[in-house]
Amino acid sequence: MIVISKQQIVEQIHQDWLQQPQSQICIAIFDYLICSNFQNLSHITYGSLRKVVGKSYDNRDLLTAVQYLCGDRTHLLEAKFELIDNDNYFEISDDEMTEARETGQLLHPETGKLIRNFEDKVFIYFQPSSVVKNLA
Amino acid sequence: MDIENLSLRELQNLEQYIPGLGRFPSRFAVTNYNKFIEILYDDIDDIIYQIQENPELRQNDSEDRLTIDIRDQLRRLGYDASHDTKFGGHADLLVKKGNFTWIGEAKIHSSYSYLWEGFLQLTTRYSTGDFNQRDGGIFIYIRQKNVSAIIEKWKNHLLSKELSDFNSEACENRELSFFSTHKHEASGQDFRIKHIPVILYFQPQDKSGRGKSNKKA
Amino acid sequence: MLTAQILEAFSQRISWSTMRVILKICDLPVRRGWEQTIQKLTDEESVRDDISDKIEQLKKCYDNHLLVNDKALKIYQLERKNIDKLIAAFKKYKPENTAFHQTYPFPLSDDNLKEVDFSQKLVEIRDTKDSLVAIFCTKRLFIERSQIDTEELNEDTRKDLAGYDKIIGVKEHYRQFFDVVVLSKQRNNIEVRVDITGSLSSEDKSKAFFQTIQQFNNLSENIAIVKTPLQESINFFPLIDNLYESDEGKVVELAFITDEGSTKSEKMRKGSVDLRTETYHYAGKQAVEHITSYRLAISWNIKICQRINSQPELLLPGRAQILSNQTQYLDEVYILNCSSLDDYEFVVEKIFDYLE
């Protein structure tokens, strides 16, 4: 694993986004992750990230910045799937998600039933990546 | 639009406003090489379409400049993309995800022998023939008109080289692109290359454009 | 086929995640969901000779799970001599034949269940190393609410309902429940375990306890001449603070009040940290002199063997008004997600350890 410093991460973000608003958005999210009790951070939603960056950025910029931070380039967020069913949350593994997309049916982890039209019920949430956890 | 949570469906619906976002869940959750390549090619197509929207801005760009732009767009999607010039100073693109690797060559079209050089440069980089390095691509930056004729001639040029087990097939998503497969000499594995034209032909028909182009000539 | 019958019965009663644990314990294959797994096991059963032991083990798991999954529990203390008297009497007692015996230990089919009345019937007396168990079956009305997938409706209906964001269907149907009374050979107590699988309503649960206690008391008087052994159940309330303040397991839910007039209800998602160490909860607790809790859920991660873990949970389902009584009394607990008798015993041991 390549060891990378906080400074290098910030530089990389600026290099990739230059003067675009995503630069500031990514830095704000990075700051939030390293300043929090990140060992406990296990369920960060888009809504929460919206709070972190504030209202002055539009959704499009926030979404593309988050997408970037989940990628391999500057991997600060781990994206995960969950099924939300009547206010209950069920984690869905990447493998199950792949299977669901190929077969068109998702296995409900609790009921054991296969459900169609699951795209309306599956959501993405985030955790700090191992890169962040190894930094602090 | 308030985004407390976004379902997969909502992300897909946003695709028309934010290209690439619909593929976000598949991109990070991908677990097999073929799927990685499939999504990468969809993303590359989107980037190419964007570049093609403003050919007038690209008339003086070098191979390096064009490839670096593609690299930067890929990085913004989250790809670990790099531009490696250690092979004799020509432009190429490397995209990695864990063990998965994809390499691209870029050439500004001038002659078919020049494109052939790019093709050879690409194939020599795959000497290991690793299981997760089976695909590569060539970006063909074309400033001339009649791209489909150029691509057809290029296909025939390749055919004439009589590569071992050579085969070509159309790209389902884009008529002008195509795939070639041949048996890689060193590794004995099949190596599949996507040939990706980038249309940079610019010859404006209106008065202001004609004036400019006359001056150039 | 036996496996299909066992799994169909399980599917009405336990979560898929618990079923996977049980199948792994029995070294049986797991596929995507109930249907595919039943199909796979049925296929295996018909071709493999070496699988019958494993299926026997699965059947045993099913027999055991009737005693432990999911249960609301009341515990009654009784003198040793009276418990022994009850054990001796019940050991000799043969339950009468009932309609439930047609398929017992598997539940009756929906059609057959319709014909049965609502009275509770003793169906089995089971003598084990640690206890004597009396198992009762009852038919109860069960109301199921689920969201209707509009894609499954015809076009005209879909059009009529187009203005609605969600369509919820309410289905009333009958289900068979398995309530259990356990006479311990080690401890001086009797457990009444009411079946609460599928989120039985509070009202139905109370009725189930009433029925079971009354039945057992009557039987005890008739066959063992022990009058009303089940009188006052023990108070579980002290467990709430005792467990919260311990290092046990992982607290996944806590409800409490503060003296500044606030009622708080906190829940942790599966896979998250212990509520006790969650930043927000911890900081809040530090800021006040004390909190007064009335509801607690705690789970344990038990390693059965490599790559097989179970997660039984203990819920102390108090309500805020308990705190306003002169004595705080909580007479029942729920034990959930047990994959085996061992899981259940593990939790009951903790109850006794922390009640001391």
pLDDT tens digits along C233-245? 999 999 999 999 9
Chains touching B by CB (3 or more pairs below 8 Å): A
Same domain, C346 and C246: yes
Any domain includes C233? no
In this prediction, residue C153 carries a pLDDT of 83
- A114 contacts C11? CB cut-off 8 A: no
- pLDDT of residue B87 exceeding 60: no
Q: Residue B42 carries which DSSP code?
A: H
- Check: CB of residue C105 under 8 Å from CB of residue C113: no
Residue linked to tokens 């009405």: C12
Same domain, C274 and C333: yes
Q: Write down the number of H helices and E strands in chain B.
A: 7, 7
Interface residue A126 vs chain B (CB under 8 A): no
Same domain, C181 and C157: yes
Interface residue B68 vs chain A (CB under 8 A): no
Same domain, C79 and C153: yes
CA dist B35 and B42 (Å) reads 11
pLDDT in tens, C190-224: 999 999 998 778 888 999 999 999 999 999 999 99
CA dist B159 and B143 (Å) reads 24
- Please provide the DSSP assignment of C202-231 as one string: HHHHHHHHHHHHHHHHHHIIIII-------
pLDDT in tens, B75-85: 999 999 998 75
- B8 contacts A119? CB cut-off 8 A: yes
Same domain, C348 and C319: yes
**Residue-range domains of chain B with CATH:** 31-216 (3.40.50)
- Between these two residues, B210 and C338, which has the higher pLDDT value? C338
pLDDT in tens, B14-73: 887 888 888 898 898 888 899 999 999 999 999 999 999 999 999 889 888 999 999 999
Same domain, C150 and C25: no
Any domain includes C229? no
CA dist C162 and C159 (Å) reads 5
Any domain includes C231? no
CA dist A118 and B4 (Å) reads 18
Last residue of a domain, one of C68, C94, C112: C68
Same domain, C76 and C220: yes
In this prediction, residue A55 carries a pLDDT of 86
Chains touching C by CB (3 or more pairs below 8 Å): A
Closest residue in A to C277 (Cα–Cα): A40
Q: What is the mean pLDDT of chain A?
A: 91
pLDDT-based confidence at residue B210 (cuts at 50, 70, 90): low
Q: What is the mean pLDDT of chain B?
A: 85
Q: Residue A44 carries which DSSP code?
A: B
Nearest CB to A68; choose among B4, B6, B78: B78
In 3-state terms, what secondary structure has residue B12?
A: helix
Task: Tell me which chain C residues have a C-beta less than 8 angstroms from the C-beta of A36.
Answer: 279
- A16 contacts B78? CB cut-off 8 A: no
Q: Is the dihedral of CA B110, B114, B115, B118 positive or negative?
A: negative
Specify the pTM. 0.86
Nearest CB to B8; choose among A45, A69, A122: A122
Beta-bridge partners for C245: none
Total residues belonging to chain C: 356
Q: Which residues in chain C come in under a pLDDT of 70?
A: none
Any domain includes C81? yes
Any domain includes C309? yes
Q: 3-class secondary structure for A99-123?
A: HHHHHCCEECCCCCCEECCHHHCEE
| Angle at the Cα of C81 from the Cα atoms of C333 and C188, rounded to 5 degrees | 25
Please count the structural domains in chain C: 3
Residue linked to tokens 């409900």: A108
pLDDT-based confidence at residue B131 (cuts at 50, 70, 90): low
- pLDDT of residue A25 exceeding 90: yes
In C107-166, the residues whose Cβ lies within 8 Å of chain A are 147, 149, 151
Same domain, C155 and C296: no
Domain membership of residue C76 as a residue range = 71-224
Same domain, C22 and C105: no
Same domain, C19 and C76: no
Side chain identity at residue B16, one-letter code: Q
Same domain, C255 and C124: no
Q: Is the dihedral of CA C338, C342, C343, C347 positive or negative?
A: positive
In the structure encoding, which two tokens stand for residue B84, read together? 């490696």
Half-sphere CA count of B87, side-chain side, radius 13 A: 20
Side chain identity at residue C79, one-letter code: E
Last residue of a domain, one of C68, C87, C122: C68
| Nearest CA distance, B136 vs chain A (angstrom) | 19
- pLDDT of residue B110 exceeding 50: yes
Last residue of a domain, one of C17, C41, C68: C68
Interface residue A88 vs chain C (CB under 8 A): no
Same domain, C326 and C341: yes
